Structure 1
Amino acid sequence: MNILSRCRAGTRGAGLMPGESRPSRSAKVTLNDVAMLAGVDRSVVSRVINEDPRLSVRPETRKRVRETIEKLGYRPNVAARSLRTARAYMFGLLIPDFANPVYAEIIKGAERAAGVLGYGLMTASSAGVRLGLEHYLDLLGQGRVDGLLFAGEESGHELAQLRTSQVPWVLVNRRLAGSQRYVILDDERASELAVNHLLELGHRRIGHLAGPDGADTARRRRAGYLAAMRAAGLEVGERSIVHADYTAAGGVAALDRLLSVPNPPTAVFVANVASAVGALYALHARGLSVPRDLSVVAVHDMPLASHLVPALTTVRMPLEELGRRALELLARRGPDEPITEVVTEPVELVVRESTAPPAS
């Protein structure tokens, strides 16, 4: 029995064809099996798996090794590898809240990148477990994770904690003053796409349901909104921008305040899809129709956006790519190397039923 046949036999289920004998449960794919079938030394296989930057082999050889790993279904022995390398082969990801659907996409991308690199991903919410950054830094000190993706709430105190931790870390979807280690999205461009869409429909009184006043993402989206309005020669009144947290409840409260002014807007740009859900609910509760009475467009496109009533116009952002890229940079850069990357593609407007020209 050759290597490939032996490995396949070891993964077959309990059902046997007539005349077949039950394969041995000891048939497990090893590093030697991969090396033999790929025609390389086992050290080459190990260094390909570990993304060793010092490995000098031809691209076709690297590709053949990866294809052989996939074909045989080889899985490294993480426990043994951790003992050899003094690594945990685990990254941590701290997010503000699992209830925000935006973070599900970021987690998906980070988890996929970790798997490709042979790592695991441990994710927790500062809102859910109430452990916060200090808990994660304790884990880092114990060697239980090799680095931290931090998507939590911003504060200078937390940045100081990260800097003194002496382990790799990257801010995700946010920046802190003085930080040179972050991966963010092109939020200004997203805002401009949303506002320009409303302008092209003929709206001139455009309000902004912004995010939390202290949040970096909210500041960047507000900056994009203001830039687009100024480019169109439109003034923005003090009460044209209302801040709220990134929740449906926040959207309800902010929308009520936005419409309480004389001569209210005919359209609103919402900084987050969860807030937009609340805004739609608030409009329905007031007996107002979308988009006849108010057009609504939001940042971030989720599957639920197309199932709302009316279906929500959004700006789709590369959230999964953000998570993937952040983890790759965390894995490959040293703890003192700067990381200042903006993930720019794809950012695109998705037009649905919630936007239309203003009523005459």
Structure 2
Amino acid sequence: MRLSLIGLCFALYSSVSVGQWYESQGVASIINGDNKTAKAQAMQNALKKALLVAGASVSSIQQVVNGLLTQDEISIRASGSVNSLELISENYNDDFVTVTIRADIFPQEKKCFAADYKKSLLLTRSNILHREQANIGNIYAIDRTLIKKLADKIQQQGIYLDTKLALQTKTEFSRYNQSLQTQSLKNLAMSLANMSDSQYVLFSEIQDLSMANDENNDWQFWQKNIYQRQFNISLYIHDGTTGERILDKHYQSSAPWEFDERKQIDVTSHNFWQSEYGKKINLSLDDMVRDIDENMMCQPTQGRIVQVQGNTITFNLGKRHGVQVGDEFSLLHFNNFVSDDKRSYAGFNISPYKVIVTSVSQDSAHATTAEQHVLDNIQINDLAVRY
């Protein structure tokens, strides 16, 4: 049975909207033989659990759950939380019904539980798409300097991110991106996230550093040989767990290039950043920080499980991310599947057990189940999620 959706609005995600599949179970008691009502209640419980784990807000959960109708074809009225919902199975045993659902969920609002924690973001060296444009001023080092400055600004001005840098070598991102090799992009993001112990990966492409053909006499008419120079850049953020792209932003600006075209310019110098061109780039960086922080606010803060011992786990979130003793986490077990149209999706099974943090270090935390259950189905590289 496939469930339908009506009345969805995705205004908050006009650029890139990426949902994530979650599979969960719900249980309800059957009263006076009313299987239909019990089934609807079980589905509501399962969907509510999936929404909470996905980081949806309390209000959006209420909107979606209240929209479930006790009919053969169940409709959902929401404002951007659920993209698709499927009933996988239903089992009746004594006076209880157990259902399993699979939901494709979008983070719905800017106010969310995930905002309590910082996400780790790996910033990679930028790619200059047309390297010959950097020849004027010999500003090839802008690919590293720019990202280092962006990372510093995120640390100083941002709220929801903890940054890491990978600037020594270039990645294959632009080659994959330009040739639309989606799976290679996902694999690259997941590999870098795993190697750097990061939750998300930022790539960027400097798309235009060209000079205008005409002198910019309107800027300072008494000076000659002043030309406008472009600065166009695109940012892409990928989820390190699934490899999927969750943010795609483009920035376009220009400013007078005040330097001699034959002079080599140090892009790390105060002189460069105080020039009109440097100031314009700086303003673009400020815009980037605001956009990144706002868009990453409600992305899930996911800890990768690095050790499982009985009913105790260790995962890679710690004090630097805001984790404290006593915090409660849900556990997600990877469950990739192939849809009816033969497409492969990354999905999760939500464990019925939760864990409570018992100790925390700077970069990791230990947690145990409250009921002392053995976590048989939880494995290394599964996820601990706070909602």
**Common topology (TM > 0.5):** no
Given the two structures, how large is their TM-score scaled by the length of structure 1? 0.21
TM-score (norm 2): 0.20
Q: Higher strand share goes to which structure?
A: 2
